[in-house]
Chain A
Amino acid sequence: MLLEVDGLRYAYGERLAVQGVSFEVAPGEVFGLLGPNGAGKTTTILCLAGVFRRWEGEIRWEGEPFRPAERVGDRARLGWVPQELALYEGLSGRENLEFFGRLQGLRGTALAEAVDRALGLAGLADRARDRVRSWSGGMKRRLNIAIGDLHRPGLLLCDEPTVGVDPQSRNHIFDRLQTLKNEGRALLYTTHYMEEAQRLCDRVGIIHEGRIIACGTARELAAAAGDPDADLEQVFLHLTGRHLRDEG
């Protein structure tokens, strides 16, 4: 296994946000964490990324303990595409990519090639020298993903990267993620859009109130819900109920 998460727990003060989450991601696999707002998806991903360090449980990378908060080498194995746009709007698209590329240890020709490739794949080459401030929301989203994948990480953590994106950009983002999948890259993808998980993910873990309540392929989950023809949305509603959930 590429990544193994076992009994992950994290609390914001008294409130337990992640209550013993366990799952695995195989090399080249796209694993989806599917759940409503406040279910614990982002908290889980932030623990994995090393933003949070006071979590409990075990995380292993290829069987070895994985501590990205403490170890730079572990962090370098990850790429991160955050929910919000984490860009410098005063810099151009190329400057953003060059800056984050340098922070990831890329230099010289390797950096230039990585930046050119990222701009090309994101469809941003024509506007690369314009300041990001002048770009559309969809372009910024694509750059957001390009930065996360710039250093070709072993696992790309995508935290709801299509939130608030227009259909065209969303389609482009999906194509880009599909390309990564076809290249054999591993992705951990969180979303609350059922069709996204169904379209992209090899396996899905349904997370609810800080726990994974079901895990498997769409087919396996449908079977577990008692309806082999059910889509993920129906499975999800079957497992979590139809009542409204309030965050916080």
Chain B
Amino acid sequence: MIRAAWILAAKDLRLFFRDRTALLFAFLLPVAIVLAFGFIMSGVFGEQGSMGRVSLLLVDRDGREASTGLTDALERTGMVRLRLRPGGRPWTVEEARRQVEDGEAHHALVIEEGFAEALVSGELPPLRLIRDPGRAMEDRIVRAALLQAMMELTQGGLWVPVMRRSLADLGMDPEGIETVTRFLRGIQETLGAFLGARRAEGAAGGAEEAPGGGGSFLEGDFLALVPVEMEDHAPPDRPKEATFMLIHNIAGMGVMMLMFGLAAAGRTLLEERDQGTLRRLLLSRAPRESVLLGKFFSTFLTGLVQLAVVFVVGEMVFRVDLFRDPLTLGVLVLSTCLAVTAFGLLLGTWCRTTRQADGLGTLLILVMSALGGAWMPLGQFALPPAVELASKCTLTYWAVGGIESHLWNSQGLDHPVIQTAILVQLAFAVAASLLARSLFHRRFLSG
């Protein structure tokens, strides 16, 4: 029996290794997925696997050495990566505000004039966070980083002005505040001595603090003590129930499933060829290109219905006013469906077998979804430039980004972000359709 089993196994292996397509996808697909995820995860979560750094715009209106001290301390927290303008210069307040309003950034730190003097005099340092208040996760990380950096910069002395302000806000009389201040200074000296000794031990032992790990005790109410003024920018019509991750998931999963659906629709061209109906279509009175155009229509309409169902069900379940600007959403959905339809047909005309189309389709969709941010909002993390560039080369980046920017930032058709997303997708749709048409002629009509 074993001998017979071996003979059967040998036959299966021989057939498997002779099928080059199966071989390619058996090995290429997992390798490609592993590589894509490896790049993204190392970009998002850092080299040591802790929480990734979130990007933070920097506006330095003080421009003194103390500002550099703060930015260095912020970088050392391992929680944020400061994003300067191309060319390495800090942003202006107006630019930073626009970046946040456009959804290009979620937080910008403004180091106001007088920051250095305030540090010296023991006063509250003038800092401002321009932020999108809906980005709660990033907000906690940025504020935790800021608190940690300020504590380091002031050797723990920040507690005193922070507490004085809080007590004054609560209505305590000046005498009471002075009593508490004396008490706090005692704590500050004790804490400073303790932290200094601990830091010295760490330096002697060569131990490094894990990025992001230092902020773990700065949870909950402690974050409210971060000495920073908030300037919130959120579109007025964004529903309170909407969270960024919810909107992102509606856009990301919607686009990814659309790609799977339409890739399957595109492969029906190969199925029709295999079952002989394609030849029958080509021999009818119908113009031959109408066969491809017919596939385009059916695939496109399938996609429209699919996305419409996603949005309608999403709205019914989550009530986040997805249809507050139906025109913009409609144009985005149309451009996404056009681009993904063209992708599906390109796949159907490029591949020689349905098996190849399945393998290549799965490979491309998973890699594009991972790289393009369909699974997680990569835009909130400071990605390495190569990963960022690769991300922008995917269809998913523009499809998910367009829908997400519209639903989250309420950007309409007049906004450059939306216009770019639409134009890129339309350009892809045209290019991929022309290529699919050429391949259709070459592969299906050129006998």
* Chain A residues with a Cβ under 8 A of chain B: 46, 49-54, 68, 72, 75-76, 78, 80, 82, 84-88, 100, 103-105, 147
Contact: B447 with A54, CB < 8 Å?
yes
Cβ 8 A contact of A49, one of B277, B281, B283, B445: B283
Contact: A87 with B277, CB < 8 Å?
yes
Interface stretch, picked from B205-213, B242-250, B284-292, is B284-292
Contact: B279 with A82, CB < 8 Å?
yes
Q: Give chain A nearest CB distance to B445 CB in angstroms.
A: 8
Pairs A-B, 8 closest by C-beta atoms: A86-B276, A52-B447, A103-B284, A84-B276, A86-B280, A76-B285, A86-B277, A103-B286
Contact: B446 with A53, CB < 8 Å?
yes
Residues in chain B near residue A86, CB distance under 8 A: 275-277, 279-280
- Once bound together, how far apart are the Cα atoms of A46 and B279, in whole Å? 10
Contact: B284 with A75, CB < 8 Å?
yes
Contact: B283 with A51, CB < 8 Å?
yes
Q: Does B282 contact A (CB under 8 A)?
A: yes
Residues in chain B near residue A104, CB distance under 8 A: 284-285
User: A72 and B447 in contact (CB under 8 A), knowing A82-B279, A85-B276, A103-B281?
Assistant: no
Residues in chain A near residue B446, CB distance under 8 A: 53-54
- Once bound together, how far apart are the Cα atoms of A84 and B279, in whole Å? 11
Q: Give chain B nearest CB distance to A145 CB in angstroms.
A: 12
Cβ 8 A contact of B283, one of A78, A85, A88: A78
* Chain B residues with a Cβ under 8 A of chain A: 275-277, 279-287, 445-447
Contact: B285 with A103, CB < 8 Å?
yes
Contact: A51 with B282, CB < 8 Å?
yes
Identify the closest chain B residue to A53 (Cβ).
Answer: B447
Q: Give chain A nearest CB distance to B281 CB in angstroms.
A: 7
User: A80 and B285 in contact (CB under 8 A), knowing A52-B447, A53-B447, A86-B275?
Assistant: no
- Once bound together, how far apart are the Cα atoms of A147 and B286, in whole Å? 15
Q: Give chain B nearest CB distance to A83 CB in angstroms.
A: 8
Q: Give chain A nearest CB distance to B235 CB in angstroms.
A: 46
Q: Give chain A nearest CB distance to B112 CB in angstroms.
A: 68
- Once bound together, how far apart are the Cα atoms of A78 and B279, in whole Å? 13
Residues in chain A near residue B286, CB distance under 8 A: 72, 103
- Once bound together, how far apart are the Cα atoms of A100 and B447, in whole Å? 23
Residues in chain B near residue A84, CB distance under 8 A: 275-276
Contact: A80 with B283, CB < 8 Å?
yes
- Once bound together, how far apart are the Cα atoms of A85 and B282, in whole Å? 15
Summed over the interface, the residue pairs from A and B with CB atoms below 8 Å come to a total of 51
Residues in chain A near residue B276, CB distance under 8 A: 82, 84-86
Residues in chain B near residue A87, CB distance under 8 A: 275, 277
Contact: B280 with A75, CB < 8 Å?
no
Contact: B447 with A46, CB < 8 Å?
yes
- Once bound together, how far apart are the Cα atoms of A78 and B286, in whole Å? 13
User: A75 and B279 in contact (CB under 8 A), knowing A51-B447, A54-B446?
Assistant: no
Can you list 21 A-B pairs, Cβ within 8 angstroms, ordered by A? A50-B283, A51-B279, A51-B283, A52-B447, A54-B446, A72-B285, A78-B283, A80-B279, A80-B283, A82-B276, A82-B280, A84-B275, A84-B276, A85-B276, A86-B276, A86-B279, A87-B275, A87-B277, A88-B277, A100-B284, A103-B284
Residues in chain A near residue B284, CB distance under 8 A: 75, 100, 103-104
Contact: A75 with B447, CB < 8 Å?
no
- Once bound together, how far apart are the Cα atoms of A76 and B277, in whole Å? 17
- Once bound together, how far apart are the Cα atoms of A103 and B282, in whole Å? 10
Q: Give chain B nearest CB distance to A89 CB in angstroms.
A: 8
Other 7 A-B pairs with CB < 8 A, given A49-B283, A80-B279: A50-B282, A51-B447, A53-B446, A72-B285, A78-B283, A84-B276, A147-B280
Residues in chain B near residue A105, CB distance under 8 A: 285
- Once bound together, how far apart are the Cα atoms of A54 and B442, in whole Å? 12
Q: Give chain B nearest CB distance to A167 CB in angstroms.
A: 24
* Most chain A CB atoms below 10 A, which of B280, B283, B286, B446: B283
Residues in chain B near residue A72, CB distance under 8 A: 285-287
- Once bound together, how far apart are the Cα atoms of A124 and B446, in whole Å? 36
Q: Give chain B nearest CB distance to A106 CB in angstroms.
A: 10
Residues in chain B near residue A75, CB distance under 8 A: 283-285
- Once bound together, how far apart are the Cα atoms of A51 and B281, in whole Å? 10
- Once bound together, how far apart are the Cα atoms of A111 and B277, in whole Å? 20
Residues in chain A near residue B275, CB distance under 8 A: 84-87
Residues in chain B near residue A100, CB distance under 8 A: 280, 284
Identify the closest chain B residue to A157 (Cβ).
Answer: B283
Identify the closest chain B residue to A78 (Cβ).
Answer: B283
- Once bound together, how far apart are the Cα atoms of A105 and B284, in whole Å? 9
Identify the closest chain A residue to B447 (Cβ).
Answer: A52
Q: Give chain B nearest CB distance to A70 CB in angstroms.
A: 10
Q: Give chain A nearest CB distance to B293 CB in angstroms.
A: 13
Residues in chain B near residue A103, CB distance under 8 A: 281, 284-286
- Once bound together, how far apart are the Cα atoms of A90 and B201, in whole Å? 75
- Once bound together, how far apart are the Cα atoms of A143 and B275, in whole Å? 15
Identify the closest chain B residue to A43 (Cβ).
Answer: B447
